[in-house]
Structure 1
Amino acid sequence: MASVTLEATAPSWICTPMWRPPADRSPSWSARGAPSCSRDPGGSPSSACWRGAMSEFILRRGGSANASAARVALIAASLVFIGLLVQLAVTTTRSVDPHALVRRQIIYASLAGLVGLAAYGFGYRRAVAWSRPLLIGTWVLLGFLLIPGGAHIGGGSARWIELGTFGHLQPSEVAKVVLILFFSGFAIRKGRELADFRAGFLPAMSYLGITAGLVALEPDLGQTVFLAALSAAVLMINGLKVRHFLPVFALGVPVLFVAMSEKWAYIGKRVEGFLAGSHYQVEQGLHFFASGGVAGQQLGDGRAHLFVPEIRNDFALVAIGEHSGLIGCVIVVALFAALLHQGVRLALLARDRLGFSVAFGLALMIALQAAVNIAVVTSLIPPKGISLPFISFGGSSMLVNAVAIGLLASVADDARSPEEAMA
């Protein structure tokens, strides 16, 4: 057990965390390297044993935490480069300035690199220490969207704040990282009380309810569900009981849908179209996936950008499938899987519970967003309006994900060695 004191700049509402590795992460190992595990009454190895074995497997391969942090940065840079190729591939020569959006994406990518380095230097501990004012600031931005004339309207929703020549800011993107930081600090403050319904669950749901409620009012059901799922995951890995969510979902979800039925009428149309298999974007996307075959078409020969709306944004994977085929899509999925793997590895190597929670939450955020986007494009779930991290066009998502990468890498600064973590 190690006592880790947060930096002196942390406000008093962040307590000093006391962290110990979970007991199920430290099974005894035999001379051959196999875990020696107890068995359940039924005779099968316990689930705790398998979780411990999985953690050991992840930690034994990959070197130091700094090596994992470098891999995370390299993977993110690779995804950004693929995104730039996508923007170039879907550029049409019919425009007055065909490469204007490509140049803008290069600017976003350059800014993202600087922002990521700044987040790395700032560190996850300071970020958690400032997460409460950041959360309040996020509420202000989300509330500004509800003011008539305060938001840029797109797709039937008020999701963006107009920033003139700088483009648009999407506050719900900012909310993702802020909630991870806030709930990680919240869990450390509460300690064992987090498992209590009154002391832990209800306060957590009040913060989440305000944030998700403001996003729902845009309306943006996809981001609302995403924020709720991501926050629930961060809280549950810190000890919040799953059973506490059941009455909230049973009572809250129907009430929310009834209250927002008029604003969410368009969502019903989307779901109806999905169930009927008649969503134009998805149909066209699947067609051009098939036209890409295994190896894809030559760069510049594609036609998907002429028929698939939002191919620069939410449906960027269609362009990858058309131009690089199945091979390109597999590479993209593998990169996101590798990013999740290295992020979880950093979480396991974290010096304290706070670092574990932040690293796990940020890695999950990027991987889950990619999984949802891919599921939409491949017609596994209804359209959600969630972009493909680092690849889709846009500044808000790019910059927020860069902050996530920088904070994730900062966990390596005071991380343990693999040998120490497995001790």
Structure 2
Amino acid sequence: MLTFSRVDTSLMARWWWTIDRWLLTSVLLIIACGAILTLAASPPVAARLDLGTYHFAIRQFAYLPLAIITMIGVSLMDPVMVRRFATLTFAVFLVLTLSTHFIGTEIKGASRWISLGVFTLQPSEFLKPTFAVVAAWMFSEWRKDIKFPGHFICTGLFVLVAGLLVTQPDFGMTAVVSAVWGMQFFLAGLPVVFVVLVAVIFMAGSIIAYFTVDHVTSRVDRFLDPANGDNYQINRSLEAFQNGGLFGQGPGEGDVKHVLPDAHTDFIFAVAGEEFGLIACLFIIGLFATVVLRGFSRMFKEDNLFVLLAVGGLVTQFGLQAVINMASTTHLMPTKGMTLPFISYGGSSLLSLALAMGMLLSLTRRRAGGDL
């Protein structure tokens, strides 16, 4: 256990006494839940693919130390360093995301990944948190000096990012990025008439996607009318929750992971419901809610607009991704291939989330006077 004297002025001591320890503890507990569920869900998937029994678990556990080091390392930064680091990282991964259209590896009909030997990188995962911080910077500079075209720059970057994501295609991530950007623009002072206009554009985009993209049409139709198409995965997911009951069937005793190809990623929450029960699922939901509520509580106390917008964007993004995954798994919305933060298997997802939470922990640290 860490113990530091309040008179200790070392970097780690100042970090320990200024960090939001409830927020940090909640994130670490989510990571621990993810490690347990990866061990529970991934062996049958690995067996179906003729891989080693613990292939996915070993890979995930290999990423965990790097993710935790990344999160703690970034949380040591001050807001100015976070802003610079996010801007540089955003620029790098924007180029890498663009490169997926030329050198990307196609998986399940989407070119979102770059193969780096034993590691497959999904650059767009890193665009989400870094763009939220860059957008916060542009909007805050615009509000400081109305002559600075920060809102136009940010809007241009948003169109570029959204365009890259749509053409991969990745409509789920596009929706998350759009929602966060819209929320930040609203908090920065977007006039109400433009709020309505942005909402209409988003709705129009959703309608166009429904009528022009086959898999979007299929998923929405199957959600509205379960008899309209194959609902095998969602039916097995709902059965898993029913079989798990209040306390679950026990670790390793579930069946859903043997029949769902994405049991270790998109449907890992169903594995939690079947093997550990409703109580465990509510505990996981409570951890996500704690992260979101602690982030918002710190945000509302913030006087610096950049920090307020950045924290709001990071927290909204984290919570929205979790809600989309759990709502898809429980048939509260059309299915969407989106990971459950820190719990679903995936190296790029794990590292990008660690980066996001590191920036969130940094920006929510107590600072003298709240100055940058």
Question: Fold match, TM over 0.5?
Answer: yes
Structure 2 residue 100 is matched with structure 1 residue 151:
no
Give, in whole Å, the separation in 2 of the partners of 1:244 and 1:215: 24
Give deviations 1:114-141, integer Å, cap 9, x for gaps. Answer: 1112211233322213444433323212
Q: Is the 8 A contact 1:159 1:170 kept in 2?
A: yes
Q: Is the 8 A contact 2:136 2:310 kept in 1?
A: yes
Give the corresponding residue for 1:112: 67
Give the corresponding residue for 1:324: 276
Letter in 2 for 1:402: A
Structure 2 residue 26 is matched with structure 1 residue 75:
yes
Give deviations 1:77-135, integer Å, cap 9, x for gaps. Answer: 11111111111112239555211211111111111011112211233322213444433
Identical aligned residues as a percent? 26
Q: Is the 8 A contact 1:362 1:408 kept in 2?
A: yes
Give the corresponding residue for 1:204: 154
SS at match of 1:311: coil
Give deviations 1:237-275, integer Å, cap 9, x for gaps. Answer: 22223431433554576479769976x322212222222
Change (3 A) 1:252 1:302: closer
Letter in 2 for 1:397: S
Which range moved further: 282-291 or 403-412?
403-412
Q: Is the 8 A contact 2:300 2:308 kept in 1?
A: yes
Give the corresponding residue for 1:396: 348
Shift of 1:145: 1.3
Q: Is the 8 A contact 2:172 2:338 kept in 1?
A: yes
Within-5 A mapping of 1:34-53: none
Letter in 2 for 1:267: V
SS at match of 1:237: helix
Give the corresponding residue for 1:270: 219
Of the candidates 181, 197, 208, which is equivalent to residue 231 of structure 1?
181
Of the candidates 108, 114, 125, which is equivalent to residue 161 of structure 1?
114
Shift of 1:327: 0.4
**How many residues are aligned here?**
349
Give the corresponding residue for 1:408: 360
Q: Is the 8 A contact 2:182 2:198 kept in 1?
A: no
SS at match of 1:159: strand
Q: Is the 8 A contact 1:86 1:316 kept in 2?
A: yes
Q: Is the 8 A contact 1:270 1:383 kept in 2?
A: yes
Give the corresponding residue for 2:238: 286
Unpaired runs of at least 5, structure 2: 1-14
Q: Is the 8 A contact 2:19 2:365 kept in 1?
A: no
Q: Is the 8 A contact 2:165 2:173 kept in 1?
A: yes
Within-5 A mapping of 1:272-421: 272-277=221-226, 278-350=230-302, 352-415=304-367
SS at match of 1:208: helix
Give, in whole Å, the separation in 1 of the partners of 2:231 and 2:79: 41
Change (3 A) 1:251 1:373: closer
CA RMSD between the two structures: 2.8
Name the one with the larger helix percent. Answer: 2
Which range moved further: 408-417 or 154-163?
408-417
Shift of 1:408: 1.4
Larger radius of gyration: 1
Change (3 A) 1:252 1:358: closer
Give the corresponding residue for 2:171: 221
Change (3 A) 1:381 1:210: same
